[in-house]
Amino acid sequence: MSLAKYDFSTFRKGGRKGGWLGVMDDWIANLTIDSKETGVGPLVPYRSQRLFLQELSKGMDEGIRSFTVLKARQLGISTIMLPIDLLWLNAYAGTQGAIVVDEEGNREQFRKILDRTMMSLPRGLFAGVKRHNREALELKNGSVIRYLVAGTRKKGALGVGGGYSFVHATECSRYGDAEAWASFVAAFAEENPNRLFTFESTARGFNLFKWMWEDAISEPDQRAIFIGWWAKESYRLARNSKLYAHNFDGTYTDEEIEKIALVKEQYGVEITDEQVAWYRHKTRQLNSEGGYIAQEHPWDAREAFMASGKLFFPTKQLTLAMHRVARSASSPGIPWKGYRYHTGKNFDETKIEQIMEPRFKRLITLRIWEDPDPVGVYAIGVDPAEGTSVEDNTWKDLFCISVWRCYADRLVQVAEYADFDIAPHQCAWILAHLAGAYKNVRVCLEIAGGGTAVIRALTQLKESIMAMDEKERATNPDIANLFDSWAWYLYRRVDSLGGNMMLHFKTDNEKKRQILMRMKDAFMIEQLVVNSMNLLEQMQEVVSKDGWVGAEGRGKDDHVLGAAFAHHCWDAMVRKDLVASGRTYAFEQQAALERAKTEHRETTMISYVIRDFFKQADERRANSTNGTVDDPATLYG
């Protein structure tokens, strides 16, 4: 047996039968390992480790070379990855790599495991060790892997000067210096065909690893892998055990039923009663130790990033809502439609297109769950970005427009727009389009930040529409009546019994806390029906600390504030009339069924784009002698 057995060059051409999984299986079959569960012996992967290897090799066969692995606790992912580290060093002579750990103790532990693993390799299958100390492992074939400690505090550089083609980073959620990590990653090889980067960690709330995970989901050249607690076969209680009898009475809670169904749908795994009994036991154990079950043993990837005790919105309701939305998104009976606005610097350049193909999903800026209903009543909350232009929005704050259907007894999300790559005047057109489409709308807009610029642009747009002649108004009734069917939210102090009212909403810390508290109450009693996963994920990031409420650090709460403004608008101005007229959700649903028997209505966002307006504007400019007659571009200078 020799290293020449593995012709790794064929993988770049897809030439080996069995792919990378076959190579990994062959390699691991030669190894022994020091396991805390079984002691020293053959390396026989757990089911969780096997699942990880399958997902890793599948991505590698597809040409992916960067993997972010979100895992539950103690699944053995680090342990099974270390032999792959050795495989890579042996296979590709001259590899410059690094193993990154969170603290000194883990560096020494990993070094000892690699020492023991190398000793178990048969002669001829291993390139041989040139040196091995606490700083690095260097093989005789020129491959080097350095042991680096990221640390759990902000402390400076990490691996400065390195240009790595191989990196295995573990427990990334504990890394304390995001800037040092960004500098470290910037030095990674991008073209080396033999590169491999693997970052694995438990979640531990909102931190550097959350952003790594989100990047892996959104970037086509990366792969995100989730391994839940249910993947390890030992995480169960035998039916004949006392612990099983103590923890399982033959019935499941509603929350467990939701989670079991979600795991089946997303990961194809059947959860057994023995596993549920173990999970209940572990939950009690962690609660008594001050731990958090959702972080350490998540059912799915979204649950893993639940914050700890500071979480503002309740964990249980967030988890159930996320599971409902995730299941609804995959159900053909409850579709949502995705659109993309093309916004230029001129009003007449704005267009909208529906995004149908999954590969273009990342381009979607507008999601529609329910098209406009002529008899519906709506509330819109608008949270403009802090920056006042595309150029100075350096933190990528979102312009968020949140649209909700109002009932006497609940508020249901029907649409949501969010984008950071626009200017306030473009946000103004999109807001006018959505409010004009849904009609019978009350709009609550945050006037701090870029809100004032949005209002100014809307005023200019309204003035241009009012200046249209009778022929234009008759030809373009939708654009002519754009502002006729919606109104602004009017602010009055909570402790005021009368007096003047003001347009719009301007938040300070106390007002923000108040409207978020009201939104939280509505969410907890299922009065607020959230359909946006983006909104729910941001709700996870909202924390309460010393009277302050919001997203910490690089966290965002744009979606949350948009929803909070809409809810406040409904609560303060819209709900009272709906209650008086008995327009509950059940009443409106029954009325809709009755109307459907005699009416045929097909209303979509595309029908509200009013394409003829832009077409006629182009024709007018083309026919004009000076090229400036009725040119909407003059609205924005």
* pLDDT tens digits for range 164-216: 999 999 999 888 887 788 888 888 888 888 999 999 999 877 778 888 898 89
State the pLDDT at residue 519: 93
391-444 tens-digit pLDDT: 444 445 788 999 999 999 999 999 999 988 788 888 888 888 888 888 889 988
Q: What is the mean pLDDT of residues 545-552?
A: 77
- CA–CA separation, 594 vs 597, rounded Å? 6
Long-range contacts of 499-504 (CB under 8 A, 24+ apart): 504/444, 504/445, 504/446, 504/447, 504/451, 504/455
- CA–CA separation, 35 vs 78, rounded Å? 12
Q: What is the mean pLDDT of residues 341-365?
A: 76
| Closest C-alpha to 399, from 381, 382, 413, 376 | 382
State the pLDDT at residue 495: 44
Asked which of 113-127, 411-425, 583-597 is least confident by mean pLDDT, the reply is: 113-127
State the pLDDT at residue 540: 81
Q: What is the mean pLDDT of residues 15-32?
A: 79
State the pLDDT at residue 500: 47
Beta bridge partners of 354: 339
- CA–CA separation, 304 vs 618, rounded Å? 52
Task: Return the domain boundaries, the chain.
Answer: 1-227, 230-306, 327-592
The dihedral region occupied by 132, where left means phi > 0, alpha psi between -120 and 50, and beta the remainder, is beta
Distances, alpha carbon 247 to alpha carbons 104, 274, 296, 529, in Å:
38, 10, 19, 33
State the pLDDT at residue 560: 93
Q: What is the mean pLDDT of residues 482-493?
A: 66
How is residue 420 annotated by DSSP? S
State the pLDDT at residue 41: 72
Residue 260: helix, strand or coil by DSSP?
A: helix
326-347 tens-digit pLDDT: 776 555 444 688 898 887 666 6
The two tokens of residue 615 are: 């077409």
For residue 389, pLDDT over 70 is answered with: no
For residue 314, pLDDT over 70 is answered with: yes
- CA–CA separation, 568 vs 519, rounded Å? 8
The values of phi and psi at residue 11, to 5°, are -70, -30
- Kindly give, in sequence order, each residue whose CB lies less than 8 Å from that of residue 55, ignoring residues fewer than 6 positions away: 223, 225
CB of 488 within 8 A of CB of 504?
Answer: yes
CB of 397 within 8 A of CB of 538?
Answer: no
Percent of the residues in the chain that have a pLDDT greater than 90, as a whole number: 32
How many CA within 13 A on the CB side of residue 45?
A: 24
β-strands 378-383, 399-406 pairing: antiparallel
593-635 tens-digit pLDDT: 888 877 766 556 665 554 444 455 555 545 554 444 333 233 2
Q: Would you tell me how many other CB atoms lie within 10 Å of the CB of residue 117? A: 21
| Closest C-alpha to 506, from 564, 447, 549 | 447
295-305 tens-digit pLDDT: 788 998 888 87
Element (H, E) at 254: helix 254-267
Long-range contacts of 541-544 (CB under 8 A, 24+ apart): 541/206, 541/307, 542/311, 542/312, 542/313, 542/516, 543/307, 543/310, 543/311, 543/312, 544/310, 544/312
Q: How confident is the model at residue 38 (pLDDT cuts 50, 70, 90)?
A: low
pTM: 0.62
129-162 tens-digit pLDDT: 899 998 999 999 999 999 999 887 766 556 655 6
For residue 46, pLDDT over 70 is answered with: yes
- CA–CA separation, 377 vs 374, rounded Å? 8
State the pLDDT at residue 584: 94
Angle at 122 between CA 117 and CA 127, to 5 degrees: 80
- CA–CA separation, 227 vs 298, rounded Å? 9
Asked which of 11-20, 249-258, 260-269, 366-375 is least confident by mean pLDDT, the reply is: 11-20
Angle at 286 between CA 285 and CA 290, to 5 degrees: 125
Length of the chain equals 637
State the pLDDT at residue 610: 46
Which value, to the nearest 10 degrees, does the dihedral of the CA atoms of residues 467, 470, 475, 480 take?
A: 40
Q: How confident is the model at residue 100 (pLDDT cuts 50, 70, 90)?
A: very high
- Kindly give, in sequence order, each residue whose CB lies less than 8 Å from that of residue 624, ignoring residues fewer than 6 positions away: 630
Position with higher pLDDT, 449 vs 66? 66
CB of 3 within 8 A of CB of 126?
Answer: yes
Fold identical between 1-227 and 327-592? no
Fold that domain 1-227 belongs to in CATH: Rossmann fold (3.40.50)
**Mean per-residue pLDDT of the chain:** 80
- Domain 327-592 in CATH 3.30.420.240? The answer is yes
CB of 413 within 8 A of CB of 381?
Answer: no
CB of 231 within 8 A of CB of 237?
Answer: no
The dihedral region occupied by 14, where left means phi > 0, alpha psi between -120 and 50, and beta the remainder, is left
State the pLDDT at residue 554: 62
For residue 274, pLDDT over 80 is answered with: yes
The dihedral region occupied by 175, where left means phi > 0, alpha psi between -120 and 50, and beta the remainder, is beta
Percent of the residues in the chain that have a pLDDT greater than 70, as a whole number: 77
At position 341, the amino acid (one-letter code) is: Y
* 509, burial (CB in 10 Å: exposed 0-12, middle 13-18, buried 19+): exposed
For residue 117, pLDDT over 60 is answered with: yes
For residue 382, pLDDT over 50 is answered with: yes
